[in-house]
Structure 1
């Protein structure tokens, strides 16, 4: 399920959830929605709750056709005067923003955001703080504070939200978008001059990002041999000695916001003479074992 804008909302606010799971078949598929494991009305990709009630709180999941159900997103409908809003899950490379949201009708001013009880900055605009591209250093305990004025501004209250913990291992997590790529080579074992060599840059997307299209690039001894494109394979139709070297690959998102490099794979292209020599040694070894066996038989007789 695609992240809803906020997991905490006020009574009466509108909430939209979007189902973005990867379907197992093509076509116009129906959607199913669940709250706390029970089927609820709704068969479209988006589920709209026009005026949220406390009874709408719960763990939501969606399903596209016969695919598996999505991970759950928790919706919490509050009657507080001030709440901190943040995405329910933050993935590596996402743009993370927080909102210090006061109940409509209140005269609220001077929002301040805190991480681990330290002020981290003022909102870029209105009540929203743009933290930027998320990485593990963004994990921590967050809250916000606002001044609420009443009686035509003659009186005021300083309110703090409940704390929200964003952690690598917490309920709201920073999850890797995809694993570090690994290089694999075909044919397995030794590659000889003239062989068709294929190098694969293999990685795995997070279940939350199965529909993300990655791009791949390949390098030999630090020099680019294939620029970024959608193919995760680099092929050499007829390998030559000069194709030997240290190979790496990179995988990135289409925008380049997340890029990861593979391990180093050393590939040695052996010459045709080396292969022939190895084959002759193998034949001699087999012949030697046969001769030894025959001599033992002769001694036994």
Structure 2
């Protein structure tokens, strides 16, 4: 009886030892950081943990979706991609594969940053503000981000919570290329913006720039409409000028009512010798003008034309030669 009890106890001890030994060598996949949901660009380290009782050299193998991917105790993802999502397992030379552990990698913790400037047109002496814009994922709205600014690749503002960089008085030398970096507070994800070129204009160039910008940003078809209006206006102006010139021309030729026109001059033609002439002469005895008819007398006609006008105060007598 005693022998039977001893044998049973020994068998139970052997079974327990075998079970404990099997469970001790079963590996477990752990994540660092302890997250199974990360974003693209983040880093992650997986470890194949085995029981400390395992002695000697141990070989490790990693599997993703049942495909072999790695052969060390740890497997690292430096900058996660969406394609890194999957089921991970590890196995040692003294154990079976571990349980499957799922990793999810989302498209972005935050969007690629961009730089905007204010004002859009910068002149010497203006206050220039650069802003680094990004958008957090809806899954991590509470994530703390830090921002840094660079001019021609040289750091001009260290990482901080401020996403703006200000130049109180812009100078021509501030016309440079600018970028900004955005990173998480744990420095695990960092993204760099595209390059933005800032142009600082001299004082007095603002009006010229505005004019050029207006012409460049005109809506399609606006230039054609403007040209048509300009041509129509020019034709109308020319037509009005022609009408005005015609009006002025005719007002010079045709006297208008009420205008004082100069008296027309009486032209005397020198008579020919063979024609009979009628002329006037003053009788010194009577003081009256008399009309004479005779052959031409040039000298008398010339004297008559040169004499000043006189009022005829007596009736005229016609005396035939």
TM-score (norm 1): 0.51
Q: 2:114 matched to 1:182? A: yes
Change (3 A) 1:239 1:292: farther
Q: Name the counterpart of 1:18.
A: none
Change (3 A) 1:138 1:278: closer
Structure 1 contact 248–263 (Cα < 8 Å) conserved:
yes
C-alpha separation in 1, matches of 2:150 and 2:113: 13
C-alpha separation in 1, matches of 2:54 and 2:190: 41
Q: Name the counterpart of 1:222.
A: 153
Task: Give 1:235 shift.
Answer: 1.3
Q: Name the counterpart of 2:68.
A: 117
Task: Give 1:270 shift.
Answer: 0.9
Structure 2 contact 29–46 (Cα < 8 Å) conserved:
no
Structure 2 contact 59–71 (Cα < 8 Å) conserved:
no
Q: Name the counterpart of 1:275.
A: 206
Q: 2:76 matched to 1:131? A: yes
Structure 1 contact 90–175 (Cα < 8 Å) conserved:
no
Higher Cα radius of gyration:
2
C-alpha separation in 1, matches of 2:211 and 2:59: 80
Change (3 A) 1:276 1:251: same
Q: Name the counterpart of 1:142.
A: 88
Change (3 A) 1:281 1:227: closer
Structure 1 unmatched ranges of 5 or more: 1-80, 123-128, 149-157, 167-171, 283-287
Change (3 A) 1:280 1:208: closer
Q: 2:126 matched to 1:195? A: yes
Task: Give 1:293 shift.
Answer: 6.3
Q: Name the counterpart of 1:36.
A: none
Change (3 A) 1:162 1:254: closer
Structure 1 contact 85–101 (Cα < 8 Å) conserved:
no
Q: Which has the higher contact order (CA 8 A, sep 6+)?
A: 1
Q: Name the counterpart of 1:204.
A: 135
**Greater strand share, structure number:** 1
TM-score (norm 2): 0.49
Q: Name the counterpart of 1:159.
A: 96
Secondary structure of 1:242's partner? helix
C-alpha separation in 1, matches of 2:239 and 2:38: 77
**Greater helix share, structure number:** 2
Q: 2:237 matched to 1:298? A: yes
C-alpha separation in 2, matches of 1:262 and 1:253: 15
Q: What CA deviation, in whole Å up to 9, does each residue of 1:134-158 have, x standing for no partner?
A: 533992652123578xxxxxxxxx4
2:189 counterpart (239, 258, 268): 258
Post-superposition, which runs of at least 4 consecutive aligned residues in structure 1 deviate over 6 A? 279-282, 288-293
Change (3 A) 1:119 1:290: closer
Aligned-residue Cα RMSD (Å) equals 4.0
Task: Give 1:262 shift.
Answer: 0.7
Structure 2 unmatched ranges of 5 or more: 1-25, 214-226, 241-321
Aligned residue-pair number: 194
2:170 counterpart (239, 251, 261): 239
C-alpha separation in 1, matches of 2:211 and 2:27: 81
Q: Name the counterpart of 1:93.
A: 42
Secondary structure of 2:205's partner? helix
